[in-house]
Amino acid sequence: MKKTIEILIEFIAFFALIFIFVGLPLVINWYDSSYLPSRYPKGTKIINLTAKVSQNSCLWTLEKVNSFNYWWKKFKFAEEISVREGDKVVFRVHSADVLHSFAIPRFRIGPYEISAGKVKEITFDARREGSFKYLCWLWCSDCHGDLKGRVIVSPSD
């Protein structure tokens, strides 16, 4: 009886580890790639934008920033984000490190505070074409002035 219980415990522990190392990442990937987009109307443009500050460089990036790549990866600066006039747009704004904020003044969006490790979802309609500056509104570091880019709204077809 004691041997059967030990085997059962080992069996449960083995499958718990398999779930943690294989199943959990698959569930997280499914959530990001399938579930989140299904929450919005069809055709909604979802933009994941992360603010990152490190060693005298600040940037907004469209790349995924996490604890594995934060220190070693050279992220590409999201200088321009293109959408079409009439698009429904969702910015999922992340802060990788410190308190940031996000605003698109000419669209009267924000400023919204984004705490480190948190996500703020900002929904808007791209109603007019043009170039619209987005930026971090709160002082976050010495290179705070670099945390800006443009949303380019091109005419719809």
pLDDT in tens, 6-22: 888 888 999 888 888 88
- Tell me, yes or no, whether 47 and 114 share the same domain: yes
| Cα-based angle 33, 64, 126 (whole degrees, multiple of 5) | 70
**Neighbouring C-alpha atoms within 13 Å toward the C-beta of 124:** 20
**pLDDT score at 7:** 86
**pLDDT score at 150:** 92
- Tell me, yes or no, whether 117 and 129 share the same domain: yes
- Tell me, yes or no, whether 145 and 116 share the same domain: yes
pLDDT in tens, 114-129: 888 888 999 888 888 9
- Tell me, yes or no, whether 100 and 138 share the same domain: yes
Task: Give the domain extent around 86.
Answer: 42-154
**pLDDT score at 143:** 67
pLDDT in tens, 59-73: 888 888 877 877 888
pLDDT in tens, 34-61: 777 778 888 888 888 888 887 667 888 8
- Tell me, yes or no, whether 105 and 63 share the same domain: yes
- Tell me, yes or no, whether 46 and 32 share the same domain: no
Domain count across the chain:
2
**pLDDT score at 124:** 87
- Tell me, yes or no, whether 63 and 80 share the same domain: yes
**Neighbouring C-alpha atoms within 13 Å toward the C-beta of 53:** 20
Least confident of 20-34, 87-101, 108-122, 126-140: 20-34
User: Looking at per-residue confidence, does 34 or 92 come out higher?
Assistant: 92
Report, in this order, helix, strand and coil percent for the chain, each rounded to 5: 25, 40, 35
- Tell me, yes or no, whether 33 and 63 share the same domain: no
Task: Return the CA Rg of the chain.
Answer: 20
Q: With contact defined as beta carbons under 8 Å apart, do 96 and 51 qualify?
A: yes
Is the pLDDT reported for residue 157 higher than 80?
Answer: no
